[in-house]
Amino acid sequence: MSGDAPAERPAENGIAEPDNGTKPIGSAEFANISDRLNDLVAQGAEYHRRSDHREAIIDRLHEENQKLRDEVRASVFDPITADLMRLYDSFRRDAKRLTESGADPRLVKLMESYADDVELILDRCGLEPFSAAIGEPFQRGAHVVAGTLEASDPAQCDRIAEVIVVGFRDRATGQIKRPLRAKFYRPDVSADN
């Protein structure tokens, strides 16, 4: 035989097969490979289970960290923003009073600009003002009754007659930080007093 042609070996069925360096695999070897593959699958499943558990813990810790950060932020910023809201109201009230008394318009604009500056500071703290139109119905949680006026029409009852001060809400959550204060129409004001 020359070295160019591959050697042939007899197969189990008696037909000669080329010898390419492989030998037939028995059922015991297949079972061994199958067992090893099953072990790999089980190890992969365990790895994924542990990975999912680890991710769940990380997510829970992140949530707790965010909640703690929000609580710290609230404990620091809530008193400051409450004072800023009062300052905002004061500037708006003074601008209205000066306008009604006929004061120099430049002074009125100055007071309004101070109120606008405070509003920008509140905006950076994540709060936005909200108001309401005359005639809007009372909304529990968003409005506070600051007074009442007698309604000339029964359809006006429990509707806004005059906005006293605007409310503020958290821009991110929509939570009311301070409700709007307004006077509302009532059917008989003398009965309330």
pLDDT in tens, 85-111: 999 999 999 999 999 999 999 999 999
**Residue 183, CB half-sphere, CA atoms under 13 Å: how many?**
11
Say if 29 falls within a structural domain. no
4-15: average pLDDT? 54
- Based on the fold, state whether residues 119 and 148 are members of the same structural domain: no
The residue among 99, 125, 151 that closes a domain is 125
Whether residue 59 sits in one domain with residue 120: yes
Same domain, 158 and 192: yes
Under the banding of pLDDT at 50, 70 and 90, the label for residue 163 is: very high
Residues 59 and 117 in one domain: yes
* pLDDT of 156: 86
For residue 62, the enclosing domain spans 55-125
Question: Are residues 62 and 117 both part of a single domain?
Answer: yes
Position 20: which residue type? N
Q: Are residues 121 and 132 in the same domain?
A: no
Mean pLDDT of 24-36: 81
Give the residue from 104, 125, 146 where a domain finishes.
125
Q: Is 130 in contact with 168 (CB distance < 8 Å)?
A: yes
- 20-24, 76-80, 147-151: range with lowest mean pLDDT: 20-24
41 inside domain: no
| pLDDT exceeds cutoff 80 at 52 | yes
Domain containing residue 161: CATH number:
2.30.22.10
Contacts of 85 by beta carbon, 8 Å cutoff, 6+ apart? 122, 127, 168, 177, 178
pLDDT, tens digit, for every residue of 118-136?
Answer: 999 999 988 999 999 999 9
**Position 1 confidence tier, pLDDT thresholds 50, 70, 90:** very low
pLDDT at residue 15 above 60? no
| Position 182 pLDDT exceeds 80 | yes
Residue 2 domain-assigned (yes or no): no
Query: Exposed, middle or buried by CB within 10 Å (0-12, 13-18, 19+), for 91?
Result: buried
Are 64 and 109 in the same domain?
Answer: yes
- 119 shares its domain with 175: no
> Could you tell me if 116 and 160 lie in one domain?
no
Shared-domain flag, residues 116 and 138: no
Domain count, the chain: 2
Is there a domain that residue 131 lies in?
Answer: yes
pTM exceeds 0.75: no
Q: Are 110 and 134 contained in the same domain?
A: no
Looking at the fold, whether 152 and 120 belong to one and the same domain comes out as: no
- Boundary (domain end) residue, out of 125, 149, 173: 125
